[in-house]
Amino acid sequence: MVTMADVARLAGVSVTTVSHVINGTRPASERTTRAVRAAIERTGYSQNVLARALARQRTQSLGLAISGLSNPYFSDVIAAVEATATNAGDTLLLAETRDDPEQELKAVRALVERRVDGLLLAPSPGAAELALPYLRTQEIPVVLLDRFADDALDQVGSENERPTQELVAHLVSCGHTRIGMVVGIAGLSTTVERVRGYRAGLRAAGLPDDGELIADGGSHADRAREAVDALLDLPDPPTALVSGNNHMTIGVLRALKARGLKVPGDIALVAFDDFEWADLFSPRLTVIAQPTAQLGERAVELLLSRLVDPSLPPRTERLQARFVHRDSCGCPASAVVLP
């Protein structure tokens, strides 16, 4: 645990001076103040860590730092986390990361400084450079949720590779050989694993994998719309699309509608992530459904068990996702073939 003495040593001042700078109890020179603040930033020191160590008592609160609070997928996960935390007698505090490493660091700092007993984090692509090093300096249990980023921490998420391979295999079984994919934010484990599954599906079917049918949707509806336009403008465009998550699926559908293309008559569509109204479209969407409730519940369970026994070895758990056959793939139910 980083202490005030560590900050003082790095800043080249006394512990008393560090205390006065932090608490504003005595004036310090601008140079000294800058040195102390720089040392605090470098060490990740938090007064609340020291307070927690002295108090040795719970605040009955858990923190959740996550991106896209308006995303239906994450909304479902958040609901499950909140319900499980409440049932355990804890209050849930939320912080938005926007999948931006700097904002993510601010979010986890804010939660730590509010003395949450434990922290759940859906890590951004840059978490390994900022948020995770900071959290390693804090005396607080952490569980990574949905995305995998550090085997030294507890983490829980869905299977991604095999389910995406199943989507490709299903489209192949229905006669498609030009299958495009709209992918999410680069660097996320979910993006990497789903692309890996897509490519594995192509290889298993003996189809070429030259990368031209992969387009960056950035986990955003507008970016996904642009990605679809790029795929459809290819000299030999795809006859089927795989959308990497539900937020991008909205953009995919908008792009196809703008082009006057009908699903599945003109182009087939399958997607990763189910959502409440996926079966209300015409046609209804064929998807991979993630176990959102179980993900939220299990993440809180791992965090609470870590609070009880900090000596537990780190655990990585993958929950099974489910293929849901509907109409947007253009295949009859009898055509479902999974590897």
Secondary structure of residue 287 in the 3-state scheme: strand
pLDDT value at 269 more than 60: yes
Alpha-helix residue ranges (DSSP H) falling in 60-184: 72-87, 101-113, 131-136, 161-173
Nearest residue to 247 via CA among 265, 270, 222, 220: 220
Nearest residue to 219 via CA among 251, 172, 265, 193: 251
Report pLDDT digits (tens) over 159-214: 999 999 999 999 999 999 999 999 999 999 999 999 999 999 999 999 999 899 99
Q: Kindly report the backbone phi and psi dihedral angles of residue 318, in degrees, each rounded to the nearest multiple of 5, phi listed first.
A: -115, 125
User: Residue 49 — pLDDT band, cuts 50, 70, 90?
Assistant: very low
Domain boundaries, the chain: 1-45, 161-290+322-335
Residue 65 near residue 122, CB atoms below 8 Å: yes
User: Residue 143 — pLDDT band, cuts 50, 70, 90?
Assistant: very high
pTM given for the model: 0.81
* Residue 134: both structure tokens together: 């900071």
Examine domains 1-45 and 161-290+322-335 and report if their fold is the same: no
Cα separation, 173 vs 330, in Å, equals 11
> Would you state the pLDDT for residue 339?
47
Name the class of domain 1-45. mainly alpha
What are the Cα distances from residue 108, in Å, to 62, 127, 156, 319? Answer: 12, 11, 18, 25
> Would you state the pLDDT for residue 230?
98
* Residue 259: both structure tokens together: 């082009």
Report pLDDT digits (tens) over 82-133: 999 998 889 999 999 999 999 999 999 999 999 999 999 999 999 999 999 9
> Would you state the pLDDT for residue 43?
85
pLDDT value at 55 more than 50: no
Least confident segment among 12-21, 107-116, 163-172, 314-323: 12-21
pLDDT value at 53 more than 50: no
Q: Strand 286-289 to strand 322-324: parallel, antiparallel, or no bridges (unpaired)?
A: antiparallel
CATH among 3.20.20.140, 3.40.50.2300, 3.30.750.200, 3.30.365.10 for 161-290+322-335? 3.40.50.2300
User: Residue 52 — pLDDT band, cuts 50, 70, 90?
Assistant: very low
> Would you state the pLDDT for residue 334?
55
> Would you state the pLDDT for residue 278?
63
